[in-house]
Amino acid sequence: MVTTSSPPRKWTPILWSRSTRNDKSRSSGRNGHDKPSGSALAREIRGIVLLLFGIFLAGALAAEGYTQLHGPGGGNVRGNFGWIGALLAQPIAQLLGWPAAALLPLALAAHALRLFGRLGQRKDRSWMVFLFGMVVLLPIVFGLAQGGVRDATPLAGIWGAFAAFYVLQFAGAAGAWILMAISLSVLMAATLSWNPIRVIVSKRVRTLDEIVPPTPAERAGLDPSKEIVVPAPEAAASVVSSSLLEPSPEEMPQIDHSLMRQGSMERGEEPALPIERRRERSSKTPAAVHVARETEKINAALEAFEPDNVAFTDADLPSPELLTPAPPRNTDIGKRELDAMGVKLMDALRTFRVEGELVGRTTGPVVTQFEVVPAAGVKVRQIANLSNDLALAMRAQSIRIVAPIPGRGAVGVEVPNPTAEIVAFRELIESREFQNIRAALPIALGKDLEGRPIIADLAKMPHLLIAGATGSGKSICINTLITSLVYRHTPTTLRFLMVDPKMVELSVYNVLPHLRHKVVTDNRDAAAVLKW
């Protein structure tokens, strides 16, 4: 495998800048605490001012409301916040109404927390926008509830009464309430990621789905675009060989559940329940009912498309002749280039005052490992720290150093070959290792450093995850796994269920007779298919 690395670095300026920065940090640590930048300090000051103003406004509104509720006999509560509090609270309450006015200090506090308390978090910003939006919409709701009277009321305020009057004139009573429901839903969905209309509608649809039973056609059918049409044996014989037909259920290998229960009890585990009993224990939530119903539909459709009894044998396995043969190798040119690389490697080591002797090399398809025995007094750490410098000196993408090689008194320096060798899949399939391996699901993965085929058993990798950057070979690896299994198993002994939401990688396998169902490209159908 060819590995890539970033371009060589110029070490001297970087080391100088690091030391300078460290000196500054140490000097600042000696002189005192680090000071925040000007913009951060300004944000913190604005946050503190907003928070204190919100607290003051909340107290002033509470005092004003208490005074209006109890009258002058309730005490001089308004005087606790002075004429400034009264000057702020009275106009805000008259303009927005008391419910919306009570939300205004909370919106200011949320904005203050975003500025200095938890700066930059999207959740705080969403709550701030939601509260300010409710300050605008809530008076209109109360204005509509009071009939759209143009006069200000304690609940709707001047703004709510004015806006509700013109909304009723524009859209009517029903249209006004629908418009407000849409506005509130959009506000909640945009800020809190919660849509009350969607929740209500989905509950009603799920309830209706549980009440109305499925028709026989729905219970036994699937989407025609996702069904596998199996041709009749006479027509199939003129197009494909009998190896492309699907086996009957009688020919499929049977599983002895008693042995599985006995093995579970020997390991001290609770025996797995049969599928029927597990379905009885499953929750009857709408989602579970939907998945169970889709599973029954898929099972019924799969059973309806079973072909005639056809037995597959090893003679029906595909021939390696269908694959591209490995290209010829020019070993003479490769040997001369590797000899020159070994000389260049030793010269580069001497440049960095590392003496040693080149005692051998191991050449693989992509990299070559040179074995270097360090001279007396040379530490292995000196060589291990030179990977980037050696890559620069040898003009290689990257160099990997194995210090030391296990079982040998040498250090391994792995250098990419001048020309990477193409590993042909046919060569792996025809290898003795693949033919003689005793594995349930053998897969060919490539070659190791010494050029020997790497064959593994997929059955021993139940939680396999293939990941990597773009262009690293993930798709090639998946295609190699599938092809390896097809070259070892007939549809009698192996079945596939493939899920490909991207609709790019696995669609070519729709004609594969090993498929139990057409390649699933819809995420909503994947759960039902896999439950089978």
In a domain, 431, yes or no: yes
**Residue 205 within a domain:** no
Handedness of CA 54, 57, 61, 63 (dihedral sign): positive
Q: What is the DSSP string of 327-391?
A: PP--HHHHHHHHHHHHHHHHHHHHHTT--EEEEEEEE-SSEEEEEEEEPTT--HHHHHTTHHHHH
Give yes or no: residues 238 and 158 share one domain: no
Statement to judge: residues 169 and 63 lie in one domain: yes
Same domain, yes or no: 507 and 359: no
Q: Are residues 408 and 427 in the same domain?
A: no
249-253 long-range contacts, CB within 8 A, separation 24+? 249/303, 249/306, 250/309, 251/309, 251/310, 251/311, 251/312, 251/492, 252/492, 253/492, 253/493
Residue 127 lies in a domain: yes
Ranges assigned E (strand) in 225-264: none
Structure tokens at 358: 């080149």
Lookup result for tokens 């990477």? 420
Distance CA 409, CA 106 (A): 71
Instruction: Look at residue 23 and tell me if it is in a domain.
Output: no
Residue 370: which residues within 8 A CB-CB, separation 6 or more? 341, 342, 345, 358, 360, 361, 412, 413, 414, 415
Distance CA 41, CA 49 (A): 12
Annotate 411-443 with three-state secondary structure.
Answer: EEEEEECCCCCCCCHHHHHCCHHHHHCCCCCEE
397 and 290 housed in the same domain: no
Secondary structure of 142-163 in HEC code, one letter for each residue: HHHHCCCCCCCCCCCHHHHHHH
Cβ atoms within 10 Å of 393's Cβ, excluding its own: 18
Domains: count for the chain: 4
Identify whether the C-beta of residue 222 lies closer than 8 Å to the C-beta of residue 297. Answer: yes
Q: Are 65 and 93 in contact (CB under 8 A)?
A: yes
In this structure, are 365 and 439 located in the same domain? no
Provide the residue range defining the domain that includes 257: 217-316
Does residue 203 form part of some domain? no
Distance of CA 282 to the CA centre of its chain: 28
Assigned domain for 529 exists: no
Nearest by Cα to 499 from 472, 470, 531:
531
Cα–Cα distance, 135 to 187 (Å, whole number): 12
| Tokens encoding 216 | 């026989």
Minimal CA–CA distance to 456: which of 440, 472, 467, 474?
A: 440
**pTM for this model (two decimals):** 0.41
Phi/psi at 401 (5° precision): -115, 125
Domain identity same for 44 and 185: yes
Two tokens, residue 414:
């792995």
Place of tokens 């009957």: 248
Sequence-distant (6+) residues with CB within 8 A of 279 are 292
Instruction: Answer yes or no: do 224 and 356 share one domain.
Output: no
Of 316, 343, 370, which residue is a domain's last?
A: 316
- Is the same domain home to 83 and 176? yes
Q: Please answer whether residues 53 and 108 qualify as being in contact, where contact means their C-beta atoms are separated by less than 8 angstroms.
A: yes
- Residue 193: name the closest of 201, 185, 181 by CA: 185
Residue 366 lies in a domain: yes
Q: Are residues 155 and 176 in the same domain?
A: yes
Q: Average pLDDT of each block of 10 consecutive residues along the chain (532 residues)?
A: 39 37 43 54 82 85 72 56 76 83 85 66 67 87 80 80 85 86 84 68 54 47 44 39 41 46 48 44 50 60 47 72 80 76 90 89 86 88 88 87 84 87 88 89 87 90 86 87 91 89 84 87 83 72
Among 382, 416, 450, the domain-final residue is 416
| Claim to verify: residue 99 and residue 180 sit in the same structural domain | yes
**pLDDT score for 246:** 44
| Dist CA 523 CA 52 (whole Å) | 50
CA atoms of 367 and 412, how far apart (whole Å)? 12
Q: What angle do CA 56, 60, 61 make, to 5 degrees?
A: 120
* b/e per residue 426-449 (b: at least 16 CB within 10 A): bbbbbbeebeebeeebbbbebbeb
End-to-end CA distance of the chain: 38
Same domain, 427 and 411: no
| 509: DSSP letter | G
The one-character DSSP state at 255 is P
Helix pair 196-211, 157-192: axis angle to 10 deg = 60
Sheet bearing 356-363, strands edge to edge: 356-363, 367-374, 411-416, 400-402
SS3 131: helix
Count of residues in the chain: 532
In a domain, 355, yes or no: yes
